[in-house]
Amino acid sequence: MNPHRRSPWIIAATLLTLFFLYAPIVVLIVFSFNASRISPLFTGVITKFGPFQLVSGNVVQSPCGPFHWFCDLSQNTEVLSAARNTLFVAVTATIVSTIIGTMAALALQRYNFRLRTFSQISLYIPIVIPEIVMGITILVMFSQLFTFINDSLHLTGDSQLGLGLWTVILAHISFMIPFVTLVVQARLQGLDKSYEEAAMDLGANEWTTFRRVTFPMILPGVLSGALLAFTLSIDDFIITFFTNGPGSPTLPIYVYGLLRRVITPQLNALSTVWILLVLIAVFLTQRVESRQR
Amino acid sequence: MSEFAIELRDVVKKFITPEGNELAAVNHVTMQIKNGEFFSMLGSSGCGKTTSLRMIAGFEWPTEGEVYIDGELQGRKPPFLRPVNTVFQSYALFQHLTVFQNVAFGLEMEHTSKNDSRRRVGEALEMVRLTGMDKRYPKQLSGGQQQRVALARALVKRPKVLLLDEPLGALDLKLRKEMQLELKSLQKEVGITFIYVTHDQGEALTMSDRIAVMSFGKVLQMGPAVEIYERPANRFVADFIGESNFLDGSVKSVKDGQAVVYISAWGQELTGIVTSKVNVGDEVAISIRPEKIRLSDQSTPNAISLDGTVVNSTYIGSDTHIYLDVRGQRLKVWEQNRVSTLDPRAYYQNGQKIQLSLVPENTLVLPKE
């Protein structure tokens, strides 16, 4: 038997894995070009450019031609505002959680203090407990807190504290920190203490040592931690669902709302754009990381 | 300027082991290192040499006792305020910076002007023969080159004292020998005090003006290489530095720096030089270096002649190592191969009867501890 020939089982397993991973995505993208407004079946691609024309539920002609649903999407102010909310939450939460998470990693890895083991273990809790439990507990905490503050300060009307985007951001930060910390810690573990000692030996104080030596050396870890946190935030549904206030949905919340009403290929177009953005982000960070090495 | 570049006064450093026990890594060490000296701390791992060095650098603080640099008490001063620089065992070159940026790092911390810094980095790189490598990254250099960058990075700061923590440990033997000589001549050239930590006795003997032999956190002996090798203070030092034959005995009499020792295994008295104080009746060790035993029939004045049998003889090129049985005691003898010959008889044969002579000048009487 030729040892270089791969077993057909390996080939079959590979193909099946790829199929289950990517077939849904391909179908989703294909359907974003569907002519039918409501049909779950593919009725063909819109081919004609021209003024919008609808014949028995099928788009026959559109100013954007096959990209009709993307144009449609770009005029949907609700989607755009949901996208803005999502990005705002993700960017803010990523920045804050990356800073706090990195500091926590440094403290846990470089210093000995009381409750260190406890702190380390408590990091795993948000990762391990079910997201829905976390969502409910955060919601309960917020509502109790708000009731207490509103009552004790006699706040009324608009000045009352309530759920909103900022509570989503706080909730996201709290579940993103452990991910950042663990990723950065892994990087720090591989970083010999002598680099920092060398910097101090050459006359750098603690802050300069961090700025000039420690941080540049752990930067790849910090970046992958931040990226991980960002992707977790951008597609989080459950925790956002519990901590969000009315009137400012993020994309996942908005999509969920759409699903309950009517599904048009606009939703597919939205998902396609989303996938493309994530692909680009992943590609860019891969580039950055490979250059670091 | 103080007479001593570095002074350790009764320094103790205790650590808590993971099991919760207290361990004195450095146990009441006192050292005075003179300006411009090449000083080595020699000992096996865990003897406290690296901890001592780290307390001078400021990475550790003494539990008890004081560290002085150039006459100034250091206390709990952080490393970046001490006028010493370190060459690390792992080199610890900053991987994200070029060779130039690595060497310039320390000057930048002192806010040296751009021009000055460029000139001094150039000089430092020239000194370690790395001119033209300044744009490379550490990973693009060989081990020996990285070692020299680490050296240039520390020396460019013109420290009062340069601390070297086994800097040649990662290099192969040939390169290590080269670097030993290079370091020694570099030290003479720049005139900076070097404190060199090593577990390699050959390295310490080759380079140092003075050596401190350490074991279990204590200094056993401090002195020039010749003194350490020819007049070890006790059995441990004689055993650790080079090789030696040891015989147990008890002191019969002491006079004029010599002692007469009764070797019970042989039922015979031997006379030897006393290096540390011994008293009559003390149980001591007789130490004789293998290259200092003569195998010959000619008797020398006041030598003691003994009969032995060759147990094993090994030809190793420059020398022949002969292992003898002398009245039930094993002795090793190194003989230089001074004549070029293929005759096997010249290199001794197993079972051969042989006469050896011991002279008091080559015999040392050492305390056991």
Is residue A134, in this structure, part of any structural domain at all?
yes
Tens of pLDDT, residue by residue over B313-328, are 999 999 999 999 999 9
**Mean pLDDT per segment of 10 residues, for chain A of length 293 residues?**
77 94 92 82 80 79 85 87 92 96 93 88 90 93 91 81 89 94 92 93 94 92 90 90 88 85 83 87 76 57
Give me the domain span that covers residue A97. Answer: 76-261
User: How far is residue B177's CA from residue B213's CA, in Å, rounded to a whole number?
Assistant: 21
pLDDT for residue A1: 55
DSSP one-letter code for B83 = S
Q: Do A197 and B92 touch (CB under 8 A)?
A: yes
Judging contacts by C-beta atoms under 8 Å, the chain B residues touching residue A217 are 94-96
Is residue A232, in this structure, part of any structural domain at all?
yes
Query: b/e per residue, B65-85, with b = 16+ CB within 10 A?
Result: bebbbbeeebeeeebbebebb
Tens of pLDDT, residue by residue over B93-122, are 999 999 999 999 999 999 999 999 999 999
- The ipTM is 0.84
Is residue A58, in this structure, part of any structural domain at all?
no
| pLDDT tier for residue B299 given thresholds of 50, 70 and 90 | low
| pLDDT tier for residue B10 given thresholds of 50, 70 and 90 | very high
- Given CB atoms, is B157 within the 8 Å cutoff of chain A? yes
Nearest residue to B10 (alpha-carbon basis) of B32, B33, B34: B32
DSSP-derived 3-state class of residue B79:
helix
CA end-to-end span of chain A: 40
Looking up tokens 């009517």 gives A262
- Given CB atoms, is B181 within the 8 Å cutoff of chain A? no
Report the pLDDT averaged over residues B151-180: 90
The tokens describing A179, both together, are: 């991910």
Is residue A100, in this structure, part of any structural domain at all?
yes
pLDDT for residue B39: 96
| B298 has pLDDT over 70 | no
* Residue A107 to chain B, least CA–CA distance (Å): 18
Q: Mean pLDDT in chain B?
A: 91
Which residues are within 8 A (CB) of A75 and not within 5 positions of it... i.e. 6 or more apart?
none
Report the pLDDT averaged over residues B211-226: 94
Is residue A51, in this structure, part of any structural domain at all?
no
* Residue A194 to chain B, least CA–CA distance (Å): 6
Is residue A11, in this structure, part of any structural domain at all?
no
- Domain count for chain A, please give it: 1
Is residue A150, in this structure, part of any structural domain at all?
yes
Give the closest of A200, A208, A216 to B96, CB-based.
Answer: A216
Q: Which CATH number covers residue A232?
A: 1.10.3720.10
pLDDT for residue A111: 85
Q: Do A202 and B88 touch (CB under 8 A)?
A: no
- Given CB atoms, is B160 within the 8 Å cutoff of chain A? no
- Given CB atoms, is B78 within the 8 Å cutoff of chain A? yes
Give the closest of B79, B93, B109 to A197, CB-based.
Answer: B79
For chain A, list residues whose CB is within 8 angstroms of any CB belonging to chain B. Answer: 192, 194-195, 197-205, 208, 212-213, 216-217
pLDDT for residue B297: 59
Give the closest of A192, A200, A216 to B80, CB-based.
Answer: A200
Is residue A7, in this structure, part of any structural domain at all?
no
